[in-house]
Amino acid sequence: MSLAELLYEKGKVNPEKVFLNGDRTLTYEQAINEVYRFSTLVSPGETIVHLMFNSTMSVTSYLGIYWAGGKVVAVDPLTSAEDLRFILEDSNPSLVFTDNEIANREKEVLKGYKIITEPPSTQGFMRPYSYREDEVGLIYYYAGIAGKTMQVLHSAKRVELNAASLYRAINIKGISTVLTVPVAHVLGNSVLGVSLEDGGQMYIMKKFDVKALMKVINENNINYLATVPMIYDALNSENGRLDPLKICVSSAAPLFPQTIKLFKEKYGKDIVQQYGFTEGLVMTYQDPMFASKITIGKPLPEVEIKVIKNDGKDANPGETGELWVKAPWIMLGYKDVEESVKVFENGWLKTGDLVAQDEEGLLYFKGIKKRMLKYKGYPIFPRDLEDILITHPDVAKVLVVGEDAGNAGVQPVAKVVVKKKRDGLETELLNYVNSKVAFYKRLKRVYIVDKLE
């Protein structure tokens, strides 16, 4: 079923139970009512851009698109300027579901598009749309394996299937959780999905604040936290208690051993990992019984894997190779069919991630072979930044690479061969790129070089 159908089923069981909390409190019945109202704006098969900061309305509008049978183009709320313009022009949406803050911030880019910032006052009720198995319901623009910004197409039904598998793996009942990352991300979508699978409740943080998060966890008895490593680092910088937490999951970026160690010392809690990516959703989960190991866990039960070395042979335990996967919820493909063909081989999706597997079946992340950087949990594609830089009249050649940024991940920098050197050109090129992209994609430095190695 879709996430909207899942909401409908859980609402029938316990309509008065609180589902969403944060800027408002909505029971399952109240949430369903608002979801339905948003759905009346959408026809089956329509493409709708969802561009909102976290709020109760961001969740109800997101689910409203599924309820109607639309295609959700899930866009990070920090996407702006030329990045946003490209997504809008490429997806050509019928509507843009957004909030007033973003509508004002991006008014020039959004000009000409029909904007929805609140649900209509529609009365009545219809059951949620039932998608076909292979019908597109979710579109992302982080094509990590291909290494550039383009449409990644997912089945609405398979998105829920992934959430159901992860929910069974974490094995926790009576979920109370907090959404700390945008619902537009694979991680945020999985937090929502797991909450719905349980019929649980989800507290929504609009923007991250570590002191506020600690208060939310304690006052709302949050027992399941799935977020990015930087938030655990922020929690480690505080003092207090996080007694309600039972499962603490890290995802979307490398988790450092010192983060795990300090969190255990301060709060008495283990941090476990899950691994996923845009084209495949969540693929692995680390059972707490293996919390003493720095591993991304084992494949979810429905996931098949193999680890392939550079010579094309299967890796033995302990050997590093590229992770290939099969799962019933991997993407339907890219919009670009030629790019889709490149990433599949005999039904296996080649992830571009390097791993090793031990004798117990645990996977260890070893790096990437695809051209993608991870900064503060966000994927960055060097090709996107190179495509902008090369349009500057003074640039002859460019290569964007990553520099270590500690627990923040890897930050993008550019090596540039210019046609003629002059004072201030590094700063000019930096501003030229950074005025066109979201904050997390901004170049940190430009190096003028004589040649690219």
Residue 453, pLDDT > 80, answer no
The pLDDT of residue 44 is 98
Antiparallel, parallel or unpaired: β 148-155 and 333-334: antiparallel
Q: What one-letter code names the amino acid at 291? A: A
pLDDT digits (tens, 9 = 90+) for 118-140: 999 988 899 999 999 999 999 99
Do 29 and 11 contact (CB within 8 A), yes or no? yes
Residue 144, pLDDT > 90, answer no
pLDDT digits (tens, 9 = 90+) for 324-366: 999 999 999 999 999 999 999 999 999 999 999 999 999 999 9
Residue 407, pLDDT > 80, answer no
**Element housing 71 (H / E):** strand 71-74
Mean pLDDT, residues 163-185? 96
The pLDDT of residue 82 is 85
Phi/psi for 277 (5° steps) reads -160, 165
Mean pLDDT of the chain: 95
Is the model more confident about 108 or about 146? 108
**Domains in the chain, ordered, with CATH?**
3-365 (3.40.50.12780), 373-448 (3.30.300.30)
The pLDDT of residue 280 is 96
**Confidence bin at 447 (pLDDT 50/70/90):** very high
The pLDDT of residue 198 is 98
Residue 276, pLDDT > 90, answer yes
The pLDDT of residue 142 is 82
Percentage with pLDDT > 70 across the chain: 100
The pLDDT of residue 370 is 74
182-196, 400-414, 418-432, range with the lowest pLDDT: 400-414
The pLDDT of residue 304 is 98
Strands ordered across the beta sheet of 47-51: 115-116, 95-98, 47-51, 71-74, 136-143, 148-155, 333-334
28-37, 65-74, 214-223, 249-258, range with the lowest pLDDT: 249-258
Mean pLDDT, residues 223-242? 96
* 346 φψ region: left (φ > 0), alpha (ψ -120 to 50), beta (else): left
**Confidence bin at 222 (pLDDT 50/70/90):** very high
The pLDDT of residue 66 is 98
Q: Where are the beta strands (DSSP E) in 128-253?
A: 136-143, 148-155, 176-179, 201-204, 224-227, 247-250
The residue length of the chain stands at: 453
The Cα 378–Cα 384 span in angstroms is: 14
